[in-house]
Amino acid sequence: MSEAELRPIERRILKMADTGMADAEIAWRFRRSPGFVRKIRTLADVPRSGTRSSTGPDGLRPLERRVLRWREEGVDYPELAARFRRHPHALQRIEALARHKLSVR
């Protein structure tokens, strides 16, 4: 399995194991049990049925797509903040990032 398909904890545990670190030492660093580390090392080799991506074909997350859609319909930030239970400034940043992502593509 390629490194890009692994979760961050899997990558870090496998990297430590490749350097020769014992499972007990890795477990101590992660505040987990050695059994947990062995399980992660074993399951990291199991092929996955597909990558789960939260982004769509346009590269945007569902939240970004919804914010852009509502903003294009003229909804202002305070109203969006109530709908998404977020601060209006956070929604401005989300919209700016989404527009940047679209401009790069």
What pLDDT, in 10s, does the model give residues 29-75?
A: 999 999 999 999 999 988 877 655 666 778 899 999 999 999 999 99
Percentage of residues in the chain having pLDDT higher than 70: 93
pLDDT at 50: 62
Is pLDDT of 23 > 80?
yes
CA-based nearest residue to 23, from 15, 31, 11, 35: 35
Taking each continuous run of H as one helix and of E as one strand, the counts in the chain are 6, 0
pTM over 0.75: no
